[in-house]
């Protein structure tokens, strides 16, 4: 699903760039543009929050995530 909206337990609304739901796992992909690699920790924290929310919705399935830096040609797995 592209630009999938999710809601956390407090009612906060978030939009995941891409959410892939397979039979045995869920994968979150968040795309970033530009060359601001200095914000990687903030980006990682953002995706970890998505993982927490998605884990509650799809309990019983492992959730994995990655940050894709388009302009830098870099992919970072988040755990």
Three-state DSSP state, 6 = strand
The per-residue pLDDT string of the chain (79 residues; one tens digit each, 9 = 90 and over) reads: 999 999 999 999 999 999 999 989 999 999 999 877 678 889 999 999 999 999 999 988 999 999 999 998 999 999 8
Q: What's the pTM value of the predicted model, to 2 decimals?
A: 0.90
Closest CA to 5 of 14, 66, 23, 35: 14
CATH number of this structure's domain 2-78: 3.40.91.60
- CA–CA distance, 58 with 40 (Å, rounded to integer): 26
- CA–CA distance, 18 with 37 (Å, rounded to integer): 21
Three-state DSSP state, 25 = coil
């Amino acid at each position: 699903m592209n630009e999938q909206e999710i809601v956390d337990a407090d009612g906060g609304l978030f939009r995941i760039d891409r959410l892939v739901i397979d039979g045995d796992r869920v994968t979150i992909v968040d795309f970033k543009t530009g060359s601001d690699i200095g914000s990687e920790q903030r980006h990682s924290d953002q995706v970890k929050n998505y993982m927490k929310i998605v884990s509650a919705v799809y309990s019983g399935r492992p959730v994995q995530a990655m940050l894709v830096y388009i302009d830098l040609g870099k992919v970072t797995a988040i755990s």
